[in-house]
A and B are shown apart, each in its own frame.
Chain A
Amino acid sequence: MDMSLSSSLLNSKPFFSRPLANNSRRPPAFISITSCKATSMGSEKETTNFYKVLSLSPHNACDEEIKRAYRTMALRYHPDVCHPSMKEESTRKFVQLHAAYKTLSDPVAREEYDFQLGLNSSGRKSKMSFGDEGGMRNRWQDQIFELKRKSNRRKAQKDGSWGSRMRSQNRQKN
């Protein structure tokens, strides 16, 4: 058991999130919520910016706008309303759309996601202005932030996710 736990830390990058080369029928896969977290530092994120998926501006999109954008896009991309020949493509698009909606419509998940996006952009900025005092401070702040975030996550994982706590509560009730 212990072995399996420690081995997991080496590399557990989900591979179904990437296109399966041996099966051309499969849609090029998307990044699901769970795998998105695991690969959040990867380069794939550039292409699946949730705000871009929903055609929204990251700065001022309110909850209502996010929901509206999701519905409007769902009416266009859900496999039920697309031609059957587009099934693979529309399924992939819709799943991505839903992942974006799910993250951005949840205030906590959205904040975290925004932070990840912000981290990337400020990271780029500081690289450009390397040596500049402001950049250094930014980087330092980013690092502190990142450390805090990691420890928070670890803490959160100790007593499980919100979902797992709810499930165990429900189980006790039953």
Chain B
Amino acid sequence: MAEPAYTVTSDSETNGEEKSSSAFPETAIGIDIGTSQCSIAVWNGSQVELLKNTRNQKIMRSYVTFKDETPSGGVSNQLSHEHEIFSGAAIFNMKRLIGRVDTDPVVHASKSLPFLVQTLDIGVRPFIAALVNNVWRSTTPEEVLAIFLVELRAMAEVRLKRPIRNVVLTLPVSFSRFQLTRIERCCAMAGLHVLRLMPEPTAVALLYAQQQQQTVHENMGSGSEQIALIFNMGAGYCDVAVTATAGGVSQIKSLSGSAIGGEDILQNMMRHLLPNSESLFLKHGISEIKSMALLRVAAQDAIHKLSSQPSVQVDVDLGNGSKICKVVDREEFEEVNQKVFEKCESLIIQCMQDAKVEAEDLSDVILVGGCSYIPKIRNLVMGICKTQDISMGMNPLEAAVCGAALEGAVASGISDPFGNLDLLTIQATPMSIGIQADGKTFVPIIQRNTTIPARKELVFTTVHDNQTEALIVVYEGDEKKLEENNLLGYFKIGIPPAPKGIPEINVCMDIDASNVLRVLAGVIMPGTPHPVTPLMEVRMPTIDDGHGWCAEALHRAYGSTRDLVTVQKKI
């Protein structure tokens, strides 16, 4: 075989184009890096198989301990006790920290974790550190995740007896494009090439499509369409999807998600057990960390027990004289977490509205993720979906990773003689993407829940006479206020002098099947059919850290001198 030609990937391109040189496609493995747990699966030629570590675990804890000189993660590390994760030496909940700035409420909520999370509230990356021999040693969420991925990769290579390069990762719906680039960067650091980043519920949708097809034994693409609602809630995030499935094809109709999950429930429980816990733990002294670990384990245990029994007795000695001796019943638990449950409800309702489906249209309701064991969660989902029958045909903790492994096989071009891989998830983009125009307004060009690949364009024009430049500032999100959306990047485009409102600035957004976003812009003057200057093509996101600042800086530097307004659509 000839040596493959080496190509330089674009600077903004941590996720390169798919390689097509290999005659025998390597089956990409599926990885579900959860906030608290992680698993890895692969299509073994006839079915999806979860890979086990040396301790025979399919589900591993997501954390990295910096105890010794070489850090070790939850894949290989043998814990003597659960408390060890909470000793300050281990970093966990990476998925809640990655790609977030220190003004983010999710980062602030992480400040009461045993390891150190420092914020300056100025919109930069938070400082995180692990306690090693009584020293806070700094690291980054990316580094921690990359160390963890290296372990996963090594484990998979041993199990499969082949080098691993291509992966499909499942991620929360609410991840911004900036966060996705951070994940790609982690994978690159671990020597992995990302074939696809899938929103978690869409991976479940693919598994659902396969199960549906296997039970019905239909022909390709035929069979009547079934609408399913997928609710996925883990430790860090809650995601909802509505999908229309038939004949192995799952069309995602809508997605919604939020950074709310078991971690919030746990923190609420800890606060309930020890009202001043947060302020106490912010000190991060050795004894506080120890108490925190004890409280955390006790609260976690109580939550698990409350899923099967109506009340639980919490008895824990936190050291330094404080003891907790309390009976917590399910009602209390549901009350302290009311906001979490309300948010879950609103995500489901929004997702159904976006998909334009009513509860009666749903053929299946699928509940997955660690929080699906909580009775209140089950009840609220059943209530909104008006069903008593929640599909438990899949393992709630393994569904996402199995879907990722299926996608890995499909996207690697593997075919199955029995048609078990005649599958497809047609993805939709969970957030609108648009630019700043009409004053400081967010004007979406690609609406949320648009099927991808997609290409949409809008026409804008100048606001000043002889305006020779326009600033195209690209945002992602669905917030009313421009600055509450995620800034993806910006660039200038030159315009020939003309009265205001005359030049036409076409802005086009293009998302391909691997979810790569390109923004194109061109200027047309009336009477000329072709763009007057070369078009601009920008791969987004272009911004690096400190993105909170850029928009403000741009506004300070340019005011409204380079603004645009939308052109009303022609009849």
Contact = CB atoms under 8 A, between A and B. Distances in A.
B405 to A, nearest CB: 14
Interface stretch (B46-54, B243-251, B308-316): B243-251
B453 interface: yes
Interface stretch (A45-53, A68-76, A107-115, A130-138): A68-76
A34 B569 contact: yes
B225 A171 contact: no
Nearest to A2: B501
A75 B249 contact: yes
A10 B456 contact: no
Where chain A touches its partner, the secondary structure class is helix
B499 interface: yes
B454 interface: yes
A10 B221 contact: no
Given A85-B20, A91-B453, A91-B512, A7 B461 contact: yes
B416 interface: no
Contacts of A84: 17-20, 413
B224 A64 contact: yes
Nearest to B509: A16
A91 to B, nearest CB: 5
Given A4-B565, A16-B520, A10 B424 contact: no
Contacts of B499: 3
B7 interface: no
Interface in A17-35: 17, 20, 22-23, 29-30, 32, 34-35
Given A17-B457, A84-B17, A95-B453, A5 B221 contact: no
B502 interface: yes
Nearest to B498: A7
Q: Interface SS of chain B: helix, strand, loop or mixed? A: loop
A64 B223 CA distance: 9
Chain B CB within 10 A, most for which of A6, A14, A157: A14
Interface residues of A, number: 56
A20 B499 CA distance: 27
A148 interface: no
A15 B447 CA distance: 20
Given A8-B461, A23-B537, A74-B249, A83 B413 contact: yes
Interface in B427-481: 447, 451, 453-457, 459, 461-463, 480
B285 interface: no
Interface residues of B, number: 61
Interface string B524-550: 101001110011010000000000000
A79 B570 contact: no
A11 interface: yes
B522 A16 contact: yes
B513 interface: yes
Contacts of B455: 16, 29-30, 32, 95
Contact of B18 (A75, A87, A163): A87
A35 B457 contact: yes
| Best-surrounded residue of B249, B463, B480 (most CB of chain A within 10 A) | B249
B526 A10 contact: yes
Contacts of B529: 15
Given A5-B567, A20-B520, 12 more contacts: A3-B502, A12-B569, A14-B508, A15-B529, A17-B457, A22-B534, A69-B221, A75-B422, A79-B514, A80-B407, A83-B20, A87-B18
28 contacts: A1-B501, A1-B565, A3-B500, A4-B462, A4-B501, A7-B461, A7-B501, A8-B568, A12-B459, A14-B459, A20-B520, A32-B454, A67-B246, A68-B246, A69-B221, A71-B251, A72-B247, A75-B220, A75-B249, A75-B424, A78-B426, A80-B407, A80-B424, A81-B424, A84-B20, A87-B513, A91-B513, A170-B353
Interface of B: 17-20, 220-222, 224-225, 246-249, 251, 353, 407, 410-411, 413, 422, 424-426, 447, 451, 453-457, 459, 461-463, 480, 499-502, 504, 506, 508, 512-514, 520, 522, 524, 526, 529-531, 534-535, 537, 565, 567-571
